[in-house]
Structure 1
Amino acid sequence: MTQRLLRTDGEATRARILQAAGTLMAQSGFAATPSKAIAALAAVDLASINYHFGGREGLLQATLAEAHRHFISEEELRALADSAQPASEKLRALLALLAKNCVNASSWHGRALARELGNPSPQLLQMLQAQVPQKARPVLRILSEVSGIPPHEPALLRCAVSTVAPLIMLTVSAIGIPGPAQAVREMPHEVIAGHMYRFALAGLQAVGQAWAQAGGKK
């Protein structure tokens, strides 16, 4: 019982530190956020950061991983790709979830990632190298089902970039960068998701048709 309580307390402390780091990082970026400020907001001492994360760099990597997981987890993506839904409905569900999380103003996750994308740290690059390939596989499977282009074809990779790029723009605009993306962020996420779905579906089908007509050589 004592070990279980200690484990639970430790998990709660770790989560509180992550929340504090993410909240402050979303405001001004991790580089400009002192560890003392994170510890104060989390109501812990600096030793707790070292204990749970092995230091400041470990905390940054964990915060970025949590921010990336927030948008959609690998488990969610695999479940969606493996589902018996029609391919178009898988695409609709994928974009609906991503759009909702991208424009969630009450969440620190998008703003924290946006700060890092503007000035990438080694920890961001490490996180992306570790997580993106794993998440890309089920996404490519869904796009392949919609377009008819095999997952290993370069044409499908271009489709993936075209599908994801608007989401990246919405994420980066989370820190208040003026422009069209900022105006779109203020729209209901259902409207954004519906537009992205129709745009992506038409594009995937058109590219898939062109790829097939060219004998799979484009």
Structure 2
Amino acid sequence: MNKPARGLRSDGEATKTRILEAAGELFATTGYAETPNKAIAALAQVDLASLNYHFGNRSGLYQAVLTESYGQVLGLANLKQLVGSELAPASKLRALIEQLVGHATQEPQAWQLRVLAREMLAPTSHLQTLFQNEAQPKVALLRRMLSEITQIPAEDPALTRCLLCVIAPCLMLLVGGRSFPGPLQEVFQMSSQAIASHLYHFAMGGLGAISREYAKQAKTSSKPGSPTTR
């Protein structure tokens, strides 16, 4: 009795995956607004009803595509494993940057990256949902990683600025890609190892400077008569 049910579930998951892949490819090529459901169904070789059955509606399908895209670039499970590993804090950051640069420089560029690029360059209401559901837990882990390097408390605003400065160059590579005009073209002529090494050393230099400045300010504010101790 159980074998047919397992078969149905297996077929259902395969169909859902085909729809997700088809939608991802088309959204990456023509955009969310310009991609008709009929084109997705045709590419996935399903009927229109299957789209709503597996994803609720068109909006649910696009949100699933964004979630899949973001998870491919920076998976929560992998990030948890990296942050919780026994690697030295600086080595964790290097591994993260190498991973992100590897995604950005892969050829051909995966549809996941192209979908994220479109969404970030022309944001829809789905981007806020993606951040609330997917990004916030990862931001907390990244803050923890940088806190280990700088000794700045994870909740301190200074660490937020550090996080933006470290991640922004990687995001630019991911979103811009090889087809983006301007200086990125020159950067992509370098090997992925050279790019990652440069971004890592640049990040560590900045983090070191901020860490020293933070420690200096903390020491000054702890002296008797300082504004924060009055």
TM over 0.5: same fold?
yes
Q: Map 1:3-42 to 2 at 5 A.
A: 3-42=5-44
CA RMSD, aligned part only? 1.5
The structure 1 residue matched to 2:145, chosen from 142, 147, 156, is 142
* Larger-Rg structure: 2
Q: How big is each residue's C-alpha offset from its partner over 1:131-178, in whole Å with a ceiling of 9 and x where there is no partner?
A: 111101111111111111110111110000001111221122138331
Q: Map 1:63-212 to 2 at 5 A.
A: 63-106=65-108, 107-174=110-177, 176-212=179-215
Output the CA distance in 2 between the equivalents of 1:5 and 1:186.
48
Structure ranking higher on relative contact order (CA contacts 8 Å, 6+ apart): 1
Output the CA distance in 2 between the equivalents of 1:182 and 1:169.
12
Does the Cα contact within 8 Å between 2:119 and 2:127 map onto a contact in 1? yes
Structure 1 stretches lacking a partner, 5+ long: none
Does the Cα contact within 8 Å between 2:143 and 2:154 map onto a contact in 1? yes
What is the identity, as a one-letter code, of the residue corresponding to 1:16? Answer: R
Q: TM-score by structure 1 length?
A: 0.94
Runs of at least 4 residues of structure 1 off by over 3 A?
Answer: none
Q: Per the alignment, do residues 119 and 83 of structure 1 end up closer, same or farther by CA in structure 2, a change over 3 Å counting?
A: same
- Report the CA distance between 1:195 and its aligned residue: 1.2
Q: How big is each residue's C-alpha offset from its partner over 1:160-208, in whole Å with a ceiling of 9 and x where there is no partner?
A: 0001111221122138331112432343222221111111111111111
Q: Per the alignment, do residues 95 and 207 of structure 1 end up closer, same or farther by CA in structure 2, a change over 3 Å counting?
A: same
What is the identity, as a one-letter code, of the residue corresponding to 1:113? Answer: L
Structure 2 stretches lacking a partner, 5+ long: 222-230
What is the identity, as a one-letter code, of the residue corresponding to 1:185? Answer: F
Identity of aligned residues (%): 44
What is the identity, as a one-letter code, of the residue corresponding to 2:218? Answer: G
- Report the CA distance between 1:41 and its aligned residue: 1.1
- Report the CA distance between 1:36 and its aligned residue: 0.9
Output the CA distance in 2 between the equivalents of 1:40 and 1:153.
50
What is the identity, as a one-letter code, of the residue corresponding to 2:164? Answer: V
Output the CA distance in 2 between the equivalents of 1:120 and 1:93.
29
